[in-house]
Chains A and B, each alone.
Chain A
């Protein structure tokens, strides 16, 4: 009785030792490379004014807009019946400042195809279709007066940029 009382804990401890220390299998998981961009057909939600303004500002200045400026801009945009007119005017004010972070015209001209692709990714978060790419490459190449500012304005005030 007395000896069996010692043996049982020893056996139990040995069981725990061997079962608890089983070496864990070393399993590793990989991730296949996958480029994720938006599909324009899935963009059905319209950005609110605040979202549009703050995304646009961050996109162009690469810093977030201050809450005060966002509030003021929202009110002014809301005060104009044609929202596109309001957005275009806000944008033309942005383009009249020196702290904007946009490529130079010479950089655009140096590689128009890359510039177009970057524009689609920067504004629409997707790649251009072949038709879209061809249109812009041809248009920019055949119109030497077209500037980065003009292209950015077109993207910024486009319908697709209002949606996500």
Chain B
């Protein structure tokens, strides 16, 4: 609707095949945030804070000021930073980073359907656009991922697509590619589980590497390629994604550069970066700054502490909003190539229960798991180039589902029809731009 009248221009894939985009691209870059470990509608988009969770009346309010528009709670503030001096822990909310909330500048889908009440089917849903309810743990996605769709149909190089994972648990580091016969690892995206690659252990194992010159690398790769041709591994035997020799060299240079920038204190961080999500998002910013990838997705999960600590959940939710606001701001102000050309999509992989479990925290507040119908309620925010200011749906009017995210990204990059034709996609999914 926003881009009506533009012309879809043909271009040539790296394979040399002439390729016609099926629709006009809406933006040059997409950043997707898988937010952030199971988020209840009540404390996030519905802005009810303690009203709908701990039976504290008069304590509603918005604790996610970068994403949503609304007044902050004025009672029982525990989600911020610690002012010290004997004041209540967490009683100082983190100031909003963005001059306007994303809701004020982009589109909010207030009430969407998750496909599962669990994390890993939820993450697979976001990354594959498939229903995938039979997805197992510690295995690659059963169906092609957005990385594979973009690399196969939009001709993106491996360095154009990145997944920044927040850890090594369960299936997380495997989300960068399926092993689907029609797509698979040859089309997979690059990935760092940032806290490991760039943490203390990463430095210990990788930080003393020899910085080979290109002249030194060339014969190594030449001999390796000879050996590989001689061995003749078939595509279905691949166990890792494939970068070209040049791309591999760039990734190694990047890893070394990150360690150097750590030493120099140059890694950008959100002003409040006291949890793992902030670390993950810092390295996502580094990858964006360095590679300017066309598509990057990152996973956050600190709010999952809600299983046993509701206060901690509120803090993590507030910080997740802060970190995402910071990242959006960082892209606009520090990466000129991406500024004004990027769309950010934010969506939780699943919600959380309506009723609490019996675990009480430091404030005697109950914790929440995720397994009921309330955990199937989620929202989505889109902001950036060609995204209209709009609210879609409401608490009593569900519009969209999480399997819409993959076709939305395909739509943004102009390969909507090709991706929609995939037999692996949820047949009822469609671009969120078509649901506005």
Contacts and interface: CB of A to CB of B under 8 A. Distances in A.
Q: Nearest 5 pairs between A and B by C-beta? A: A81-B191, A154-B223, A83-B240, A79-B196, A79-B193
A82 B216 contact: no
Give the dominant DSSP class at A's interface.
helix
24 contacts: A43-B231, A76-B197, A76-B206, A78-B196, A79-B173, A82-B241, A84-B243, A85-B243, A85-B252, A88-B248, A89-B252, A92-B209, A92-B210, A93-B205, A93-B206, A95-B210, A132-B230, A146-B223, A150-B219, A153-B224, A157-B224, A159-B231, A159-B233, A160-B231
B168 A78 contact: yes
Given A85-B252, A92-B210, A159-B228, A145 B219 contact: yes
A93 B208 contact: yes
Given A81-B241, A145-B215, A150-B219, A155 B163 contact: no
A143 B215 CA distance: 12
B206 A158 contact: no
Contacts of A145: 215-216, 219
A50 B424 CA distance: 34
The size bracket of the interface on A is 35 or more
A44 to B, nearest CB: 9
B313 interface: no
A134 to B, nearest CB: 11
Interface of A: 40, 43, 46, 72-73, 75-76, 78-85, 88-90, 92-93, 95-97, 132, 135-136, 139, 143, 145-146, 150-151, 153-155, 157-160, 162-163
Nearest to A75: B196
Interface residues of B, number: 50
Nearest to B206: A89
A99 to B, nearest CB: 13
B219 A143 contact: yes
Give the dominant DSSP class at B's interface.
helix
A79 B208 contact: no
Nearest to A90: B205
Given A82-B248, A92-B209, A154 B227 contact: yes
Contacts of A163: 231
A145 B216 CA distance: 8
A163 B239 CA distance: 11
Contacts of B208: 93, 96-97
Given A136-B223, A151-B223, A159-B228, A78 B205 contact: no
